[in-house]
Amino acid sequence: MKDIDIHQAPIGVFDSGVGGLTVVREIMRQIPQERIVYFGDTARVPYGNKSKDNIIRYSRQIIRFLRTQKVKAIVVACNTASACALEEIRPELDLPIIGVIKPGAKVAANTTRNGRIGVIGTESTVKSQMYTDFIHDLNPDIQVIGKACPLFVPLVEEGWLKDPVTEEVAGRYLEDMKHADVDTLILGCTHYPLLRSTVGKVMGGRVTLVNPAYETALELKELLRREGIAAVGTSGSAEEVWPEHRFFVSDLADKFKDFANSILACEISQIRQIPIENY
């Protein structure tokens, strides 16, 4: 791949599967002039039940692949990888990289009224206590209640977003959150915003749901401005300004394409499957 102007270089985004597309969707909305190279690790999803060492290894492999695509910055659009791998791999890189946990923690801390915040996520994310640590850095008096919801990711990957089974699972998972009287709930996995209506129905209207994807897109926008590497151009949709978004997966490309086209504003015509273990 020939060298290109840094401003025209794409943003690398990765996740364990389709969940990171919620972050891509917000990036397209907030900074539509930027091109995106996305990798979904659909062969190894979910990450939430994997060891920290394996999550770090997966993240390094994916970043090595993204570097071959000449990306100018990387977004770890996976809460589990953000919690378990980001701080380990950040010193190894010579380009900007951000995760999704810190932006979500910040908005939740500023949103809560009663000082009780819930966090739902994968087992690894909840166990890491990263959301709690970031929230307590902002306000040590806030009580943070975590709950692992491991079945949510496979339900989303199957496309069962509003299925009765998903509602039943959500009701059982979120019972503790309702009893804990949280008034703010962080959707601490990038798959979970796709279940927002189901989670909101279970929790009730008085609980504010925090989607870290939106805040992550805003943080990325500021990062690109600060580093002086933002794309030229300020208007028009992503596909009008930069016609090339590229999407890669490690398995099940056709299934991924169908899902991507159901939630993204632009039509994705080609998904390439790559042997990520070779990186």
Is 53 labelled as part of a ligand binding site? no
Q: Is 189 a catalytic residue?
A: yes
Q: Would you say 54 is a known binding-site residue?
A: no
Q: Is 59 annotated as a binding residue?
A: no
The CA–CA distances, whole Å, from 35 to 26, 41, 230, 254 equal 13, 20, 10, 22
111 known ligand binder: no
Q: Is 139 annotated as a binding residue?
A: no
Rounded Cα distance, 44 and 47, in Å: 7
Among 78, 84, 149, 266, the one annotated catalytic: 78
- From the list 84, 149, 189, 266, the catalytic residue is 189
- The count of residues in the chain is 279
Nearest to 109 by CA among 128, 134, 126: 134
79 is an annotated ligand-binding site residue: yes
Is residue 84 annotated as a catalytic residue, yes or no?
no
Strand ranges of the sheet holding 208-210, from the earlier edge strand across to the other edge:
143-148, 116-121, 184-187, 208-210
Task: At 266, give phi and psi (nearest 5°).
Answer: -100, 155
Report the alpha-carbon distance of residue 245 to residue 140 in Å, rounded: 41
Q: Is 15 annotated as a binding residue?
A: yes
Torsion of CA 230, 96, 55, 160, to 10 degrees: -20
Which residues form the catalytic set? 78, 189
Which parts are annotated binding residues for substrate? 15-16, 47-48, 79-80, 190-191
Which parts are annotated binding residues? 15-16, 47-48, 79-80, 190-191
